[in-house]
Amino acid sequence: MAQLTFVGKPIPKKDAPGKVAGEAAYIQDLKVPGMLYGRILYSAYPHAKIVRLDTTKAEKLPGVKAVLTGSTIPPFKFGVYKDNPPLKTGKVCSLRDEIAAVAAVSPEVAQDALGLIEVEYEELPALFDPIEAMKEGALLIHEEHKTNVLKMPWKLIVGDLDAAKKEAAHIVEDTFRTQWVTHCCLGASGCIASFDINNNLTMYSNTQIPYLAQKDFMEALGTFGLKNKKVRIIQSVIGGGFGSKLDTYAYEYLAILLALKTRKPVKILFSREEEFFATSPRQCTITKISHGCTKEGKLLFREMEMILDNGAYTSWGATTPSVMMLPISSLYKVPNVKYTAKCVYTNNTYSQAMRGYGNPQATFAIECSLDQLAEKAGIDPYEFRFMNANEPGETTPQNFKITSCGVKECMEAVKTRLGWTGKRMQKEGRGFGMAALVHVGGGARVYKSDGCGTIIKIDDYGKVDVFTGSSEIGQGSETIVAQIVAEVLGVPIDDINVINNDTDVCPWDVGVHASRTTFVAGNSALGAAQKLREQILDLAAATLNEDPSALDLKGSVIFSKNDKEKKIALGKILRSAHYAPGGKMLVAEYFYDPPNENFDKEFKGNLSVAYAYGAHGVEVEVDKETGQVKIIKYVAAHDVGKAINPMLLEGQIYGGGVMGLGYALSENMVYQNGKIMNPNFLDYKLLTAKDIPPIEAVIIETDEKNGPFGAKGIGEPGLVPTAPAIANAIYDAVGVRIKDLPITPEKVLKALKEKEKR
């Protein structure tokens, strides 16, 4: 590859100066003239009939401009399964059920008005445990649905499981559980809905899916009597996403309805407590898993049955089994697979995808169980993984076409850096553990299109505006896109301006999910930049009397590769084209939709055009008196294809890794009877700067042929294998296996005591 100027370099984030200066405007910071403030009244019971709802007093409070209840708004349901009305009528199914909404001149007045709304409930028995909810004769959360099990039969069958079980020399079987955890974006959810005189809607929003949200809102407007109205989404700077903003939510529809009713812009902003209890977290799971291998350690089969707590309504959380299938069918060569997953309605909060999209839950079970199998077969868990791992060029049983695959290199890097060999099982209380991962790295066709558009225009002076569909949520997409365009157009990175937050001017994109932005938006930007480059070189070729193929473009100068004297400044060429008779200004456009496949009815198909791999390893020290787990060293190796920006890439690995450590060790939404008991940062334990262990990020480059400059995705993988790596290390250290997350000192102590008794 030719010498690269911008790609592969640790270029500082383009949006960082505004953020460090305090200039960046988040949804918290936005006001529009005449704006009212909306607040939401939530249910007081997890499951109850609404017997009486009286808003008279609230309506009379000075400063209140509108009060809405379920019976005063058009009937309408939203969400992946269309099971969720923005305001509930008749009955409530969880403590986050919205039952009324108020718009007032200030947030304080709106809050006071909520206190004046009178509600009488008739409490109903409730279900908080998915296993109870699945039982025959269990009460129904949604009567019309006839069952509490969602009609989404996730099922993957490959090969002949029964035959494989007979053939296996070693078999292990166990059950693993994961907990509810939440995204904890530092910038909470919020929006401003505003109608113009023609009833076109502008939403100021921190969504991760501007174009799907636009579609959702257009459909909603249709049912609100505003068919064919235009919806414009303007994204504020976004204070973190991690999947929390992958869907549209009741608060957004309520802001729209309140704005419509009052003819004023309405802002709804979540408090931290609301962010904890009224957003959709990563669900808890129960996984029964069994694995078998030959005498030599060749993996023969994997069987998994999973139960997911869906909560009372349905968002993308219910579709996470699709991504769970990645490590289930791939990562290791496993010829026989059976996987089923059931998502079950309960009276808990409803679940959403969160960084990793189900992969962390599945990988926890798989990678812990594999260690158990390796032990049973008497093989070092590293060797066991290495011999079974995926390889480049493979087609996996789920029909994934593996192109680049650096999982073995990642495992080796972890082994070397931890000094694995000979150190395992040596010292009581010290242990080593490892876990690997696979994730989509080249888009993921979960929607009809997995595309992203880019438009590039260049002005008279060679300054470039890039309009991309991809959103910046902190991950760095703006900078990655700018680096790619700067590289192709040979202009300084500071001359690239990226516009990425307005559906009126930016082309379509499916959203920030599936670690797809570098790959998909990157390829899109690359395509548009190449088209623009061709136009520029064609213009210059005529002026310089050279063939375009003999020209190159660097430092905003076009020059002949054959004759150094033949050159012209970029701006000059652009101006001469602009001001020539019949003038021309250059614009290029490109829409990239990766050639990946939706799953077929059997959940098979090449979901992504590239797969990201990685391996994490950890050395721990376990205090047998207190159960405390101390991480001595943590190594996270990732196959990223090519690091477009190593600094931002490390940021994703560290950030993901630490989020994974929280998942493994401390984070837990404690629910009691459907109520979250720790909806604050004091009791919900995020790691702080003092808690982080030494982490080494290792970047493995495998040059993915389909990726922009060889790159694959990295947004999510960083947290996927953390929990099992730690659980495996604890087992190595003290011989107890913790099978439910988070791994608290209490659980370790309890397990140690039980082990002593045995």
Partner 1 sequence: MKREMMFKLNGEAVNVEVESAWTLLYLLREILELTGTKLGCGYGECGACTVIMDGQAVNACLVPVLEAEGKNVTTIEGLVQPDGQLHPLQRTFIDHGAVQCGFCTPGMIMSAKALLDENQSPTDEEIKESIAGNLCRCTGYVKIIEAVKAASGR
> Hey, which residues between 469 and 488 contact ligand FES (CB under 6 A)?
474
One of 449, 680, 746, 753 touching partner 1 (CB under 8 A)? 680
- To the nearest 10 degrees (0 to 180), the angle between helices 359-377 and 722-734 is 30
Beta carbons of 128 and 310 less than 8 angstroms apart: no
Binders in 424-453 for ligand FES, by CB under 6 A = none
Pick the closer one to partner 1 by CB: 23 or 746: 23
Cis before 742? omega within 30: yes
445-484 residues in contact with partner 1 (CB under 8 A) are 473-476
Q: Which of 473, 79, 448 is nearest to 247 (CA)?
A: 79
Nearest to 649 by CA among 483, 534, 448, 468: 483
Min separation Cβ 690 and partner 1, Å:
5
Calpha distance 329→397 (Å, rounded) = 6
Which tokens belong to 480? Answer: 């990655």
Residue 507 near residue 548, CB atoms below 8 Å:
no
Cα–Cα dist 263/203, whole Å: 14
Q: Which stretch binds partner 1 (CB under 8 A): 152-160, 522-530, 582-590, 678-686?
A: 678-686
Whole-angstrom Cα distance, residue 366 to residue 376?
15
Comparison of 107 and 335: residue with beta carbon closer to partner 1: 107
Residue among 456, 574, 659, 733 that touches partner 1 (CB under 8 A): 659
Region of 385-393, 521-529, 538-546, 685-693 interacting with partner 1 (CB under 8 A)? 685-693
Q: 35, 109, 138, 237: which one contacts partner 1 (CB under 8 A)?
A: 237
240 part of the interface to ligand FES, by CB under 6 A:
yes
Determine if 742 is a binding residue for ligand FES (CB under 6 A): no
Residue 184 or 736: the one with the smaller Cβ distance to ligand FES is: 184
26 interacts with partner 1 by CB under 8 A: yes
- Select from ligand FES, partner 1, none the partner in contact with residue 26, using the beta carbon and a kind-dependent cut-off of 5 to 8 Å: partner 1
User: Least separation, in Å, of the C-beta of 186 and ligand FES?
Assistant: 4
For helices 359-377 and 381-388, angle between their N-to-C axes, nearest 10 degrees: 110
Closest residue to ligand FES: CB criterion: 186
Tokens of 231: 């919806």
172-191 residues near ligand FES, rule: CB under 6 A: 186
Residue placing its CB nearer to ligand FES in the complex, 15 or 487: 15
CB of 315 to ligand FES, least distance (A): 23
Tell the smallest beta-carbon distance from residue 717 to ligand FES (Å).
Answer: 19
- What is the residue-wise DSSP string for 417-461? HHT-TTTTT-STTEEEEEEEEEEE-S----SS---EEEEEEE-TT
Write the binding mask 254 to 283 for partner 1: x where contact by CB under 8 A, - elsewhere: -----------------xx-----------
Reference 489, options 592, 586, 593; nearest CA is 586
Among 46, 187, 617, 710, binds partner 1 (CB under 8 A): 187
Instruction: Show the tokens assigned to 266.
Output: 């309405």
CB 474 → ligand FES: shortest distance, Å? 5
The minimum distance between CB 279 and ligand FES, in angstroms, equals 16
Backbone angles phi, psi at 372, to 5 degrees: -65, -40
CB atoms within 10 A of CB 645: 24
- Closer Cβ to ligand FES, 12 or 595, answer by number: 12
Return the HEC string of 477-530.
Answer: HHHHHHHHHHHHHCCCHHHEEEECCECCCCCCECCCCCCCHHHHHHHHHHHHHH
Cβ-proximal residues to 598 (8 Å cutoff; 6+ apart), any chain: 445, 446, 448, 605, 607
Is 25 among the residues that bind partner 1 (CB under 8 A)? yes
**Residue ranges in contact with partner 1 by CB under 8 A:** 10, 12-13, 15-26, 28-29, 183-188, 237-242, 271-272, 473-476, 647-648, 650-651, 654-659, 680-682, 686-690, 692, 695
* Interface contacts to ligand FES, rule CB under 6 A: 186, 240, 474
